[in-house]
Amino acid sequence: MIIGVPKEIKNNENRVGMTPAGVTAFKNNGHEVLVETCAGLGSGFTDQDYMSAGAVIVSSAKEAWAADMVVKVKEPLPEEYGFFRKGLILYTYLHLAPEPELTQALIDNKVTAIAYETIQLENGALPLLTPMSEVAGRMSIQIGAQFLEKPKGGKGILLSGVPGVTPGEVVIVGGGIVGTNAAKMALGLGANVTLLDINPNRLRQLDDLFQGRLNTVMSNSYNIAEAVKKADLLVGAVLIPGARAPRLVTEAMVKTMKPGSVIVDVAIDQGGSIETVDRITTHDHPTYEKYGVVHYAVANMPGAVARTSTISLNNVTIPYGVQIADHGYKLAAANNKEIAKGINVVDGKVTFKAVADAHGYEYHPLESVLFEEVASV
Ligand SMILES: NC(=O)C1=CN([C@@H]2O[C@H](COP(=O)(O)OP(=O)(O)OC[C@H]3O[C@@H](n4cnc5c(N)ncnc54)[C@H](O)[C@@H]3O)[C@@H](O)[C@H]2O)C=CC1
Ligand SMILES: CC(=O)C(=O)O
């Protein structure tokens, strides 16, 4: 198979879909890899590094997108929809539930769209989301700490406090990978940390993990309202896999926060979990102010620490990508249920239920689509 790796074009998206090590993995299995020139520079990989690993460097996005399978990081932007065509396998983060135009473009052009974030293990874990959630969870606290500084619009709080002055209050809604990594960083700084999750077993695990240093609270609207009121830094970290994020923190709750408090809504890539987060922000313009509260809603946070993120992402995406290239997506999905869960759109049909529900499309279970295709051959 021919694999294309275009340069990412989202604001400050410095990650790249494939490292030179990834190229070697595909080449070892007999595939060709076309990398758009300079695609890896933001992550510290030169064209020469790719050529040494066996890739062919192409001078335009068009040439990289002409491949059988395109390996990316972020969801395609409207400028890239023109590259869609029937039969193209697109392997990347897609986050389709809050993206109606992208979903329609994939349907109209009959692209086979495989979303990193919905590839799922039998135990429910999301192996291709986990590494970026580790990054974003950790970043959420260092970013929140910065924006709590007075010159950045914050209330002038040092999260750790100092001897004689109490530390800051960090509230995290959602105790999965993002939430756990945010808690780890915030506790490491010495902040007072409260984490809410809807899963009591998760709260038990976190209580054990942090040995009583974390305040764990059951997530319901009453408890969220109480926690939000006292938060200096609020982190949105919920997920219902593949679906639009539930808006758990209401506008009325945000109005109770003190001026200069900070919200970091990491769940913005699934539409956001906080009602006053009404836009996606960028690394260039990361925040806006509403009701006196600083709002941060960057949907590609790991793009800012691209070297770490690209390598960490490739550690998990490449083995699945090679399986798809080796067998084709149909056989790969038949052999490996984890890959089957990643397929969101095939041949103009939506095969991931939460995405179909989000936009009112008919849901086609993947097996029925693959069976129809086999039957029509
Ligand atoms: N903005 C960015 O750059 C990035 C965003 N993300 C996003 O962060 C979000 C969280 O990801 P993960 O931590 O990996 O997900 P996860 O699946 O590991 O954790 C989600 C947690 O939310 C909890 N939850 C679900 N409903 C809840 C409710 N009503 N109240 C409280 N908790 C609830 C679940 O029990 C689970 O523990 C996702 O939307 C993910 O895509 C991840 C990486 C980068
Ligand atoms: C998960 C995601 O959206 C990101 O890493 O950018």
Q: What is the pLDDT of residue 370?
A: 85
Compute the distance from residue 100 Cα to the ligand 2 centre, in Å: 18
Pocket test of ligand 1: the residue of 14, 94, 117, 178 to mutate, having most ligand atoms within 8 Å of its CB, is 178
Compute the distance from residue 269 Cα to the ligand 2 centre, in Å: 7
Which two three-digit tokens encode residue 215? 């305040």
* Any ligand 1 atom below 6 A from CB of 286: no
ipTM above 0.85, yes or no: yes
Compute the distance from residue 74 Cα to the ligand 2 centre, in Å: 7
* Any ligand 1 atom below 6 A from CB of 295: no
| Closest atom of ligand 2 relative to the 313 alpha carbon | 5
What residues act catalytically? Answer: 95, 269
Give per-residue burial for 191-205: e unless 16+ CB within 10 Å, then b. Answer: bbbbbbbbeeebbee
| Closest atom of ligand 1 relative to the 268 alpha carbon | 1
Closest by CA position to 8, among listed 67, 87, 65: 65
* Any ligand 1 atom below 6 A from CB of 199: yes
* Any ligand 1 atom below 6 A from CB of 266: yes
Region label for 164, one of left (φ > 0), alpha (ψ between -120 and 50) or beta (otherwise): left
Compute the distance from residue 193 Cα to the ligand 1 centre, in Å: 17
Task: Indicate the residue type of 198.
Answer: I
* Any ligand 1 atom below 6 A from CB of 267: yes
Closest by CA position to 135, among listed 294, 18, 307, 273: 307
Phi, psi of 67 (to 5 degrees): -65, 170
pLDDT tens per residue, range 65-100: 999 999 999 999 999 999 999 999 999 999 999 999
Compute the distance from residue 60 Cα to the ligand 2 centre, in Å: 24
* Any ligand 2 atom below 6 A from CB of 286: no
SS3 track for the chain: CEEEECCCCCCCCCCCCCCHHHHHHHHHCCCEEEEECCCCHHHCCCHHHHHHCCCEEECCHHHHHCCCEEECCCCCCHHHHHHCCCCCEEEECCCCCCCHHHHHHHHHCCCEEEEHHHCCCCCCCCCCCHHHHHHHHHHHHHHHHHHCCHHHCCCCCCCCCECCECCCEEEEECCCHHHHHHHHHHHHHCCEEEEEECCHHHHHHHHHHCCCCCEEEECCHHHHHHHHHHCCEEEECCCCCCCCCCCCECHHHHHCCCCCCEEEEHHHHHCCCECCCCCCECCCCCEEEECCEEEECECCHHHHHHHHHHHHHHHHHHHHHHHHHHHHHHHHHHHCHHHHHHEEEECCEECCHHHHHHHCCCECCHHHHHHHHHHHC
Q: What is the pLDDT of residue 373?
A: 60
Compute the distance from residue 216 Cα to the ligand 2 centre, in Å: 26
Residue 30 burial (CB < 10 Å; 0-12/13-18/19+)? exposed
> 20-28 and 306-335 are packed helices; what angle lies between their axes, rounded to 10 degrees?
20
**Tens of pLDDT, residue by residue, the chain (377 residues):** 999 999 999 999 999 999 999 999 999 999 999 999 999 999 999 999 999 999 999 999 999 999 999 999 999 999 999 999 999 999 999 999 999 999 999 999 999 999 999 999 999 999 999 999 999 999 999 999 999 999 999 999 999 999 999 999 999 999 999 999 999 999 999 999 999 999 999 999 999 999 999 999 999 999 999 999 999 999 999 999 999 999 999 999 999 999 999 999 999 999 999 999 999 999 999 999 999 999 999 999 999 999 999 999 999 999 999 999 999 999 999 999 999 999 999 999 999 999 999 999 999 999 999 866 655 54
Residue bearing the CA closest to ligand 2, atom 4: 300
Give the span between the Cα atoms of 218 and 221, in whole angstroms. 10
Distance of CA 72 to the CA centre of its chain: 13
| Closest atom of ligand 2 relative to the 132 alpha carbon | 5
Residue bearing the CA closest to ligand 2, atom 5: 132
Strands 89-92 and 69-71, sheet pairing: parallel
Q: What is the pLDDT of residue 302?
A: 97
